[in-house]
Amino acid sequence: MIRVQREDIDVGAALESLAAGNHHIGGVASFVGLVRNIGGADRVSALTLEHYSGMTEKKLAEIETEAHRRWPLDAVLIIHRYGRLAPGDRIVLVATASAHREAALAACHFLIDWLKTDAPFWKSEETPAGERWVEARTEDNAAREGWKLHP
Amino acid sequence: MKLLYFAWLRARIGCAEEEVELPPRVRDVAGLLDWLRSRGGGYAEALRDLSIVRVAVNQDYVGSEHPLREGDEVAIFPPVTGG
């Protein structure tokens, strides 16, 4: 399931609903991304996330489909926020449910790596030096490419 | 054709979206980016370094040789930074 929203993420409720009613599930893995208060050497007082409505949902659904293709998963949940956020705020929740932990943990890691390079979101940081767009990290591309070796 | 711009490309070009009529010689993504750069100003500045420009046609990532058709939705934006 994919959700793109301005509102905060209720992690407890989301994780509980992921496995609710399916007693085949043996484990739920999750990743929560938060706004940091540092960007490079500067303090960050706020972050604004812009996205390409329509393509965002399409890419997230493709990534979800790819995870299902690679691992035996009972459920996948991706919730990503947009708008202006403060340090400590939740940005993203990725959660997976499976009969066994290996599939749930690996798929969760895969999903956040692919989301970072494929989902059309952009971050702009507010710092004492002014507002600036965050640059993509080459490490993120390397992390995505790493999953090609482990189908 | 509908063009969409995001993040710093939107800021430098000065608008989020526009409808354009392409000259007949513009047949693919590379041609479109060349034509936009030739408009000068914010376009030339935003599209100066194409190594940090991504293009999606009808909401899928494409390369520079991807052909363009009437009615396509073309989005131009920097490498993504979500998550």
User: Maximum CA pair distance of chain B?
Assistant: 40
Domain spans, chain B:
2-77
Strand partners, A29: A96
Angle at B80 (CA atoms; ends A142, A144), nearest 5 degrees: 20
Q: What is the pLDDT of residues A11-21, one digit of tens each?
A: 999 999 999 99
Q: State the number of CA atoms in the 13 A half-sphere of B76 facing the CB.
A: 29
By C-alpha distance, the chain A residue nearest B8 is A133
Which residues of B lie inside 8 Å of A (Cβ-Cβ)? Answer: 4, 6-8, 56, 59-61, 75, 77-83
Split at pLDDT 50, 70, 90, the class of A138 is confident
Q: What is the pLDDT of residues B5-58, one digit of tens each?
A: 999 999 999 999 999 999 999 999 999 999 999 999 999 999 999 999 999 999
A-B contacts (CB, under 8 Å): 68
Report how far residue A18's alpha carbon sits from residue B80's, in angstroms, rounded to the nearest whole number: 28
In the predicted model, is pLDDT for residue A121 greater than 70?
yes
Length of chain A: 151
Element containing residue A52 per DSSP (H, E): none
The pLDDT-based confidence of A150 (bands split at 50, 70, 90) is low
Domains in chain A, CATH or no CATH each: 2-149 (3.90.1170.40)
Q: Which two tokens stand for residue A75?
A: 């459920």
Superfamily of chain region B2-77: Beta-grasp domain (3.10.20.30)
Q: Are A65 and A10 in contact (CB under 8 A)?
A: no
* CA gap A99, A75 in Å, rounded: 10
Residues found in chain B: 83
Q: Is the ipTM of this complex over 0.85?
A: yes
Identify the residue whose tokens are 């449910």.
A97
Confidence of residue A26 (pLDDT cuts 50, 70, 90): very high
Q: What is the pLDDT of residue A40?
A: 85
- Residue written as token pair 């408009």: B39
Contact A124/B59, CB-based, under 8 Å?
no
In this predicted structure, the answer to whether residue A149 has a pLDDT above a threshold of 70 is no
Place of tokens 């479109």: B32
